C-alpha cells in the first residue's frame, strides 16, 4: 500500500472502530493516521483526526495526553507558520474544555472558530463552532443561551448533514431540558437521537441516549424506568473501553438504589450532608467546613482528573487565582481534607498531587448519594 493510501486507510479504520467504541484499537489507527498526515503535510486532515482522538482520550480519562495533544498542535502552528483556521480553533477549544474544564477559555476559542468560519462561509465549520459554544454555555449553567445556540445549529442542519454532530446536538438539547425540569421535552430529544442512531450507528452516542433517558426518568420520579434504561446501557458498555461512561451509569444506578452493597465502596459521599463514610474510618463529620465539602465534591465527581491551582480557586472559592493569596490556602485546605478522610495521612489513598495539580485517585471506589 502506498503512503498516500495508508493514511486514509488508518483513518477510515480508526473511524469504524471509533463508531463501534473499540477505543483502544481506534486510538492506535487514528494516531498512525495523524503521524502520516503530518509527514505528508496534510494539516487539515491532521486536525480533523485529532477531533476523534480527543473524544477517545476524554472517555478513557487520559487528561495528560489531551494536554500533550494541545501542545503538539500549538507547536505545529508555530513551526509551520500555519494559518489558525476555524477547525484548529475548535480543536484548541476542545482541549481547554476537556483538559481543565476551562469553559471561558474554550468559549473564546469556539467564538473565534465561528468568526473565521463565517468569514470563509464554511458551514460545516460553523456547525462545529456553534456546537462548542452551546456546550460551554451548558457546562456553565447558562441553559437558555445554550438552547439559543442549538436553535441556530438546527437552521444549518436544515441545509447540510453532519450526522454525528446532529445526534450530539439532539442529546445536548435533551440534557438542557432535563436540567430545566421539562422532562417530556427531554425524553422527546433523547428518543429522536435514538431514532437517528438507527441509520448512523455509534455505540457511545447510543449509550448517551440511554443514559439521558434513564437520568430523566430518575429525576422525574420514576425509578423503575430509570433503572431499566440505565441497566440496558450498563450491559452494553465495555468498562475497559468506556470507564467514564461506565462510572456515570453505575453512579446513577446507585442513586436509585439499584446497587446498594455499601461495603464495596471506599468512600460514600452525600453532597447534601455534612459527613462522609470512609471504609476504614467510618463516618467522618465535616461539621461546618463547607469549603472542604465543596472541594471533595469536585474531586469525587471527577476521579482521575487533575485540577490545577487556577481551576481549584475558580471552582471552589469562585475567585481569580493569585499565587500570593491562594498557594498557601490551597495547600492548607488539601492538608485538612486529607487529615479528615485519609486512613493514613502519610500515605494518601484518595487525594494525590500530580505534576500540574491535585486529583482523586480514579481507582478509589466512590458512591455519590442523593
Residue-wise pLDDT for 208-228, tens only, equals 999 999 999 988 988 889 999
**pLDDT for 369:** 61
Query: Has residue 91 been placed in a domain?
Result: no
Query: Has residue 217 been placed in a domain?
Result: yes
215 and 183 Cβ atoms separated by less than 8 Å: no
**pLDDT for 1:** 42
**pLDDT for 277:** 81
Could you tell me if 233 and 311 lie in one domain? no
Query: Has residue 284 been placed in a domain?
Result: yes
- List the one residue out of 276, 253, 256, 254 whose CA is nearest residue 266: 276
- List the one residue out of 63, 39, 36, 62 whose CA is nearest residue 49: 36
Query: Has residue 233 been placed in a domain?
Result: yes
Q: Tell me, what CATH number does 268's domain have?
A: 1.10.10.10
- Per-residue model confidence as pLDDT tens digits over 349-358: 999 998 889 9
Number of C-beta neighbours around residue 133 at 10 A: 25
32 has pLDDT over 90: yes
* Mean pLDDT, range 290-311, rounded to an integer: 89
Burial classification of residue 225, based on how many CB atoms lie within 10 Å of its CB (0-12 exposed, 13-18 middle, 19 or more buried):
middle
Could you tell me if 248 and 272 lie in one domain? no
pTM flag (> 0.85)? no
48 has pLDDT over 80: yes
Q: Which has the minimum average pLDDT: 102-111, 256-265, 267-276, 295-304?
A: 256-265
Confidence of residue 263 (pLDDT cuts 50, 70, 90): low
Q: Which has the minimum average pLDDT: 47-51, 115-119, 142-146, 313-317?
A: 47-51
359 has pLDDT over 60: yes
Q: Which set of grid coordinates corresponds to residue 83?
A: 494559518
Could you tell me if 219 and 292 lie in one domain? no
Rounded Cα–Cα distance for residues 266 and 215 (Å): 24
Could you tell me if 361 and 280 lie in one domain? yes
Sign of CA dihedral 279, 280, 282, 285: negative
Could you tell me if 244 and 312 lie in one domain? no
Sign of CA dihedral 198, 204, 206, 212: negative
Query: Has residue 348 been placed in a domain?
Result: yes
**pLDDT for 285:** 81
* Mean pLDDT, range 175-196, rounded to an integer: 96
* Mean pLDDT, range 336-354, rounded to an integer: 91
Could you tell me if 11 and 35 lie in one domain? yes
**pLDDT for 260:** 47
Phi, psi of 267 (to 5 degrees): -135, 135
Rounded Cα–Cα distance for residues 96 and 89 (Å): 11
| Owning domain of residue 25 | 1-82
- Per-residue model confidence as pLDDT tens digits over 128-162: 999 999 999 998 889 999 999 999 999 999 889 89
Query: Has residue 145 been placed in a domain?
Result: no
Could you tell me if 45 and 3 lie in one domain? yes
Residue with cell 463547607: 290
**Domain end call among 254, 278, 307:** 254
* Mean pLDDT, range 4-11, rounded to an integer: 82
- Per-residue model confidence as pLDDT tens digits over 87-132: 888 888 888 888 666 788 899 999 999 999 999 999 999 999 999 9
**pLDDT for 271:** 67
**Domain end call among 82, 113, 141:** 82
- Provide the Cα torsion 131, 135, 136, 142; round to 10°: 110
**Percent of all residues in the chain with a pLDDT value above 90, rounded to a whole number:** 52
298 and 330 Cβ atoms separated by less than 8 Å: no
261 has pLDDT over 90: no
- List the one residue out of 255, 175, 174, 249 whose CA is nearest residue 207: 249
Cα 188 to its chain centre, rounded Å, is: 23
Query: Has residue 133 been placed in a domain?
Result: no
Could you tell me if 317 and 227 lie in one domain? no
Residue with cell 443561551: 145
Residue with cell 485517585: 361
**Of 137 and 43, more confident:** 137
What mean pLDDT is reported for the chain?
A: 88
Could you tell me if 301 and 356 lie in one domain? yes
* Mean pLDDT, range 24-37, rounded to an integer: 93
- List the one residue out of 92, 103, 96 whose CA is nearest residue 134: 103
Query: Has residue 118 been placed in a domain?
Result: no
**pLDDT for 66:** 85
Could you tell me if 224 and 321 lie in one domain? no
Could you tell me if 247 and 268 lie in one domain? no
Could you tell me if 302 and 228 lie in one domain? no
**Domain end call among 39, 60, 82:** 82
Overall number of domains in the chain: 3
Amino acid at each position: 500500500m502506498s503512503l498516500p493510501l495508508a493514511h486514509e486507510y488508518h483513518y477510515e479504520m480508526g473511524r469504524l472502530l471509533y463508531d463501534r467504541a473499540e477505543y483502544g484499537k481506534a486510538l492506535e489507527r487514528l494516531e498512525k493516521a495523524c503521524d502520516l498526515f503530518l509527514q505528508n503535510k496534510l494539516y487539515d486532515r491532521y486536525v480533523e483526526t485529532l477531533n476523534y482522538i480527543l473524544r477517545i482520550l476524554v472517555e478513557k480519562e487520559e487528561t495528560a495526553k489531551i494536554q500533550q495533544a494541545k501542545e503538539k498542535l500549538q507547536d505545529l502552528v508555530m513551526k509551520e507558520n500555519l494559518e489558525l483556521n476555524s477547525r484548529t480553533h475548535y480543536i484548541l477549544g476542545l482541549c481547554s474544555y476537556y483538559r481543565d474544564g476551562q469553559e471561558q477559555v474554550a468559549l473564546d476559542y469556539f467564538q473565534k472558530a465561528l468568526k473565521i468560519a463565517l468569514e470563509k462561509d464554511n458551514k460545516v465549520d460553523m456547525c462545529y463552532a456553534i456546537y462548542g459554544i452551546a456546550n460551554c454555555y451548558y457546562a456553565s449553567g447558562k441553559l437558555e443561551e445554550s438552547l439559543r445556540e442549538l436553535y441556530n445549529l438546527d437552521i444549518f442542519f436544515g441545509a447540510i448533514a453532519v450526522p454525528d454532530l446532529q445526534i450530539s446536538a439532539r442529546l445536548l438539547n435533551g440534557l438542557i431540558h432535563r436540567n430545566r425540569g421539562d422532562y417530556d421535552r427531554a425524553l422527546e430529544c433523547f428518543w429522536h437521537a435514538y431514532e437517528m442512531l438507527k441509520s448512523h450507528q455509534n455505540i457511545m452516542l447510543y449509550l448517551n441516549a440511554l443514559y439521558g433517558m434513564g437520568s430523566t426518568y430518575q429525576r422525574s420520579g420514576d425509578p423503575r424506568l430509570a433503572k431499566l434504561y440505565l441497566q440496558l446501557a450498563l450491559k452494553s458498555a465495555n468498562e475497559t473501553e468506556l470507564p467514564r461512561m461506565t462510572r456515570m451509569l453505575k453512579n446513577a444506578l446507585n442513586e436509585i438504589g439499584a446497587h446498594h452493597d455499601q461495603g464495596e465502596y471506599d468512600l460514600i459521599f452525600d453532597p447534601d450532608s455534612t459527613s462522609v463514610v470512609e471504609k476504614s474510618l467510618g463516618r467522618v463529620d465535616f461539621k461546618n467546613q463547607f469549603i472542604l465539602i465543596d472541594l471533595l465534591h469536585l474531586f469525587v465527581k471527577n476521579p482521575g482528573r487533575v485540577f490545577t491551582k487556577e481551576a481549584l480557586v475558580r471552582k471552589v472559592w469562585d475567585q481569580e487565582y493569585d499565587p500570593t493569596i491562594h498557594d498557601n490556602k490551597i495547600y492548607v485546605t488539601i492538608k485538612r481534607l486529607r487529615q479528615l478522610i485519609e486512613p493514613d495521612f502519610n500515605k494518601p489513598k484518595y487525594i494525590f498531587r500530580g505534576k500540574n495539580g491535585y486529583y482523586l485517585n480514579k481507582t478509589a471506589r466512590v458512591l455519590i448519594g442523593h
